[in-house]
Amino acid sequence: MKNLKRQEIIIKTRGFEYKVLIEDHLTSESGKAIDLLFHSKKALLISDYNVHEFYGGKIRQPLASSKWKIKTELVKPGERSKSLSEAKRLYEACFEAGLDRNSPILALGGGVIGDLAGFVAATFMRGVPLIMIPTSLLAQVDSSVGGKVAVNHPFGKNMIGAIYPPRLVLIDPQVLKTLPEREYQAGLPEIIKYGIIENESFFSYLEKKAQRLLKPDSEFLSEAIGQSIRSKSRVVEKDEFESDYRRILNFGHTIGHALEAATFYRYYLHGEAVLVGMLLAVKMAEEMSYLNHREAERISRLLGHLKIRKAPAGLTADQVIDKLEHDKKRQCDDLIFILPDQIGSAVIVPVNDRDLIAHLVSSYLKQ
């Protein structure tokens, strides 16, 4: 197998910067990178039971041989663990681990662990260093960079949170080998999203590799993860000067979130719902003449290589639209959509035409 070079990406945010390292088998090497950054030699490792079984030892052993004291705290896999009650239990673990303000929290897992452990790191002693070691495709290309951390509240998802950038992000594409197939596929729409909204040449690269999306090799994964993170970091950095620009990252999320909420977060994986939202947003962009037919076709064709989850029986357009009307991002009477205006660029559009939205949602539900 070809030996791929380590990629180093520097993310600059609000006068602060951090490094993202991407390399095959980095998990076993991560101890060295962490040891170099801290004198504290104490850490709390937070993971879920699935991920810990595969990779917990690989993170702990090298650190233990460099005389680190690592306390490990595990949560049940899944969205329900992203709660204030789990955060409270983890604060207790922080005290038991004897963390001081220079002792890192290591977040080993998918987006749930990144958000939960990140929230604990942001708030324990008003902030301790956070190291992200993302293990799902979604976490590697999206949630581990950008600094958003949160837990859920019975009144809404991600309602209690902070913007808290990590000190280091360590990405090992090889860990995706143990990720369940459906979880892997749910990370792919986020990768294609960056090509559509921000990077035309990355979109063309993905078109050429369309047959590789579902059966990736190491080279494709490293390239796709690296390009996705560069894209996200360009958007996040630019947002400091152009407020709101970051919202283009929500391409596909308006209808995606409504589908997830209308099905009580039990039917779709996040990326599956976003994929449907992306397909409908492309149709909307064409209908509203933001995007020409040729480019809309190109985008739909590439997205068509992914598995599109059918709507569950009984879900109605009214139920989805009701959730859209309660979207926290709506403005007065308008619903906010992110629409591509050409491949590699997107705009934030307030949309009032409820008939068009209902027509698009119904077209998906009837498939």
Decide: is 192 part of the binding site for ligand NAD (CB under 6 A).
no
Decide: is 183 part of the binding site for ligand NAD (CB under 6 A).
yes
Chosen residue from 178, 316, 331, 352 binding ligand NAD by CB under 6 A: 178
Decide: is 287 part of the binding site for ligand NAD (CB under 6 A).
no
Catalytic residue among 153, 246, 323, 330: 246
The Cα–Cα gap between 169 and 177 comes to 19
DSSP state of 23: -
To 10 degrees, what angle do helices 293-303 and 270-287 make? 170
If the CB atoms of residues 27 and 360 are measured against ligand NAD, the closer one turns out to be 27
- 33's tokens: 């990178």
Q: For residue 307, with 0-12 CB atoms within 10 Å meaning exposed, 13-18 middle and 19 or more buried, which class applies?
A: middle
Chosen residue from 74, 75, 121, 175 binding ligand NAD by CB under 6 A: 175
Decide: is 129 part of the binding site for ligand NAD (CB under 6 A).
no
The Cα–Cα gap between 250 and 359 comes to 21
Binding residues with ligand NAD: total (CB under 6 A): 28
Does residue 190 carry a catalytic annotation? yes
β-bridge partners, 109:
134
Q: Binding pattern to ligand NAD, positions 32-51, x when CB under 6 A?
A: ----------------x-xx
Strands 16-22 and 7-13: antiparallel
Place of tokens 């990720």: 179
Does residue 177 carry a catalytic annotation? no
- 303's tokens: 């997205």
Q: Which stretch binds ligand NAD (CB under 6 A): 20-28, 62-70, 106-114, 220-228?
A: 106-114
Decide: is 73 part of the binding site for ligand NAD (CB under 6 A).
no
β-bridge partners, 347:
339
The Cα–Cα gap between 46 and 91 comes to 11
Catalytic residue among 58, 60, 148, 283: 148
Q: Binding pattern to ligand NAD, positions 222-241, x when CB under 6 A?
A: --------------------
Residues 6+ apart with CB under 8 A from 211: 305
Catalytic residues: 126, 148, 190, 232, 242, 246, 250, 253, 257, 270
Residues at the site binding ligand NAD, with contacts judged by CB under 6 A? 48, 50-51, 54, 77-79, 82, 109-113, 115, 135-136, 138-139, 142-143, 146, 148, 158, 175, 178-179, 183, 270
